[in-house]
Amino acid sequence: MAFDWKSIFEYETFKMVKVQDARLGVLYRLFQLAIAAYILAEIFLKALYLQKEPPVPGAIRITLQAPNNLITPSYCNGSLPCTFWGANEILYPSDGAGVAFFTTRTSAINYPNQPGCNNLRVSSPQDPCFFQPTNNNVTILPKSYIADIEDYTIMVEHSVRGKATSIAIRSGLMDGELVSFNGKTIRKLTNDTRMAKNPRADGDIFTVQEILTAAGANLDSPSTAPGANKATGETYRSSGIVIVIVIEYKNVPFKKDTISYKYLPQIIDGNEYKVVENIYNTTDGSFTLIDRHGIRLVFQQHGTIGEFQFIALLTGLVASLALFKVAETLVELVMLNVLPERNVYDKIKYSEISHDGYNLDIIHLPRHRPGYD
């Protein structure tokens, strides 16, 4: 077949045909209605009218308080005795940036100073005054559990701000939730619930047990940490445990400039945590080493926050309006392939105009379907 060089210079254009067919008209409007509902749902449910950004982490403050009435738990009658400590002794260090450590097992040993030595002024590692733990020591506190740690309360205060937006807000001005590792809401947090716990509270108050439950942790379960003593069935109370708490922020739907958050705690399986506190006694030059195992909380701030911006809304609308072309495409498919009159519609829709410089000829172009008349 000879090549038709004229086809190189062909130009295709759309032909507008008004079809007065109720079947197609109703179908077209239904498609348009469904697409319009979808667009509105996308804009409002996904908050496409907001200029969004990840929150810039602010300050996170964690404090600990002892319960009014301490009890002697059953684990105090086990392999290790218990000691009762105040909140300041349990929380170490006293102030951490987005982290907290609560002691659950401890021991304390004092190492007397060698005669004539100043352990803070040592000239070299070979100096006999260089401090190293030795057998010459005094046990101040044998290995012991901290009694009733689960009933101590934690207060968490946090804040975030925006970078591209003007948002800057603290937790006391937001509502929140404590959500368990399996997605269940354990407690809702509002100003009313905060005041119920403590009329002067600026943060969210939980018991240590609530955090453990939300993370799916049990201090008396066998520890999965590689360093735990599996032969004796060492528990998390003894080895220590790490819990990561994600604070997830988002805008509240249909409420202007209102942000909420969720606490999402999760245990890090296989992790243990310990720290050794070294205390120098200026009176006699001795060192006291406090060995601490316990609960390590690590807070991380994530999510998206935003504020209303007309350009963001307009961008979402323009991108969504392109979906209306889908309605036209679907109706045309029905018109040209499903309806009994499809061949007539096909003949009307597709045609070719030939121009030889003097005359115009209109040629109908059937699409060569089987059964085309």
Residues 6+ apart with CB under 8 A from 340: none
CA distance 91 to 100: 7
pLDDT at 2: 62
pLDDT at 4: 65
146-188 pLDDT tens trace = 999 999 999 999 999 888 788 888 998 899 999 999 999 999 9
Instruction: Break the chain into its structural domains and give their ranges.
Output: 21-48+310-364, 53-307
CA distance 302 to 246: 7
pLDDT at 309: 73
CA distance 278 to 371: 94
For residues 352 and 75, which has the higher predicted lDDT (pLDDT)?
75
Residues 6+ apart with CB under 8 A from 364: 347, 350, 351, 352
Q: What is the CATH number of domain 53-307?
A: 2.60.490
Its pTM stands at 0.75
DSSP per-residue string spanning 177-246: EEE-TTS-EEEEE-HHHHHHH-TT--SEEEEHHHHHHHHT--TTSBP--TTS-TTTT-BHHHH-EEEEEE
Q: For residue 361, is pLDDT > 70?
A: no
Stretch among 4-13, 97-106, 206-215, 283-292 having the lowest mean pLDDT: 4-13
Q: For residue 368, is pLDDT > 60?
A: no
